[in-house]
């Protein structure tokens, strides 16, 4: 097993809806991409660059249970804005105009992600070619990929919250379920069958915060 580090620059503000948030019209954003988002971005890149779904299946087995660590940027800014959008009408092939709140994130510096995997050479090349995390409006550019151990100040997804944490931002995220019953076909975007509801498991990022400043619809976190 080896640690692969990739450094990413976001092309613009990005938004990742917090998992299982109850309101569809009030979509707060996670300040960082979740483990499943990162892993599935690598799988999608494998398919897109090779033109073969089989290659995506092979990479899925490599990254499914891989450990992920993230070096948090020094500052994270989040703005919650009112947006106008189109959505499909119920039971009709038409679009209607609606309004909702959406959170958008800006990082003060490139995001460093560490992945612990076998077959590091293949993953390293795919890490370099990833162009988005999640939706197509979260565009990214890979600045560099190296073999490097994560520093001690990195965060990683945890499964449970054992005690109340002070000066920590708790962020719910999703990871791929390590259960052997979860297969590539459960996440294959080209598969015709319905996605297995158990394909993801809930986890948390604990981001240490040294200072925060906020206004009516924005907040800036300084990490420690």
The secondary structure of 68-127 as a DSSP string is EEEE--SEEEEEEEEEEEEEEPTTSS-EEEEEEEEEEEEESSPEEEEEEESSHHHHHHHH
Rounded CA gap, 128 and 125, in Å?
Answer: 5
Query: Please, are residues 174 and 202 in contact by the beta-carbon 8 Å criterion?
Result: yes
When pLDDT is cut at 50, 70 and 90, the band that residue 182 belongs to is confident
Residue 67 lies in domain: 2-223
Note the pLDDT of residue 42: 94
Query: Please, are residues 82 and 27 in contact by the beta-carbon 8 Å criterion?
Result: no
Mean pLDDT calculated for residue range 107-122: 90
3 contact partners, CB below 8 Å, separation of at least 6:
114, 115, 116, 147, 148, 149, 150
When pLDDT is cut at 50, 70 and 90, the band that residue 200 belongs to is very high
Residue 221: half-sphere exposure toward Cβ, Cα within 13 Å: 20
Q: Checking DSSP bridges between strand 111-117 and strand 67-71, what pairing results, if any?
A: antiparallel
Note the pLDDT of residue 22: 67
Give the ranges where the chain is alpha helix by DSSP (H): 35-50, 53-63, 120-129
Checking if the pLDDT of 217 tops 90, the result is: yes
Mean pLDDT calculated for residue range 10-38: 86
Note the pLDDT of residue 87: 77
- Closest by CA position to 71, among listed 16, 179, 149, 134: 149
Rounded CA gap, 40 and 42, in Å?
Answer: 5
Checking if the pLDDT of 108 tops 70, the result is: yes
Query: Please, are residues 30 and 202 in contact by the beta-carbon 8 Å criterion?
Result: no
Note the pLDDT of residue 158: 94
Query: Please, are residues 92 and 104 in contact by the beta-carbon 8 Å criterion?
Result: no
User: What percent of the chain is predicted at pLDDT more than 70?
Assistant: 95
Note the pLDDT of residue 86: 79
Mean pLDDT, rounded, of the chain: 89
Query: How many domains does one find in the chain?
Result: 1
Note the pLDDT of residue 67: 95
Mean pLDDT calculated for residue range 110-138: 87
Query: Encoding tokens for residue 187?
Result: 């996440």
Note the pLDDT of residue 198: 85
Mean pLDDT calculated for residue range 178-207: 84
Note the pLDDT of residue 194: 63
What CATH number has the domain bearing residue 180?
A: 3.30.70
When pLDDT is cut at 50, 70 and 90, the band that residue 134 belongs to is confident
Query: Please, are residues 77 and 218 in contact by the beta-carbon 8 Å criterion?
Result: yes
Mean pLDDT calculated for residue range 63-92: 89
């Amino acid at each position: 097993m080896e640690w692969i580090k990739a450094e990413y620059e976001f092309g613009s503000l990005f938004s990742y809806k917090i998992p299982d948030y109850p309101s569809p019209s009030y979509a707060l954003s996670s300040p960082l991409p979740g483990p499943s988002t990162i892993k599935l971005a690598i799988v999608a890149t494998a398919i897109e660059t090779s033109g073969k779904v089989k290659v995506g299946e092979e990479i899925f087995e490599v990254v499914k249970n891989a450990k992920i660590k993230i070096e948090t940027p020094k500052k994270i800014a989040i703005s919650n804005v009112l947006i106008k959008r189109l959505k499909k009408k119920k039971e009709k092939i038409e679009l209607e105009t609606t309004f909702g709140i959406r959170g958008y994130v800006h990082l003060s510096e490139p995001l460093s992600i560490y992945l612990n995997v076998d077959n590091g050479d293949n993953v390293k090349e795919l890490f370099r070619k990833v162009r988005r995390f999640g939706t197509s409006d979260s565009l990214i550019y890979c600045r560099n990929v190296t073999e490097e151990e994560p520093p001690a100040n990195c965060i990683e997804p945890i499964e449970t919250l054992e005690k109340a944490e002070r000066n920590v931002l708790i962020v719910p995220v999703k990871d791929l379920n390590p259960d052997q019953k979860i297969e590539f076909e459960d996440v294959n975007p080209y598969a015709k069958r319905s996605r297995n509801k158990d394909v993801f498991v809930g986890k948390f990022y604990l981001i240490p915060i040294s200072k925060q400043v906020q206004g009516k619809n924005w907040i800036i976190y300084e990490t420690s």
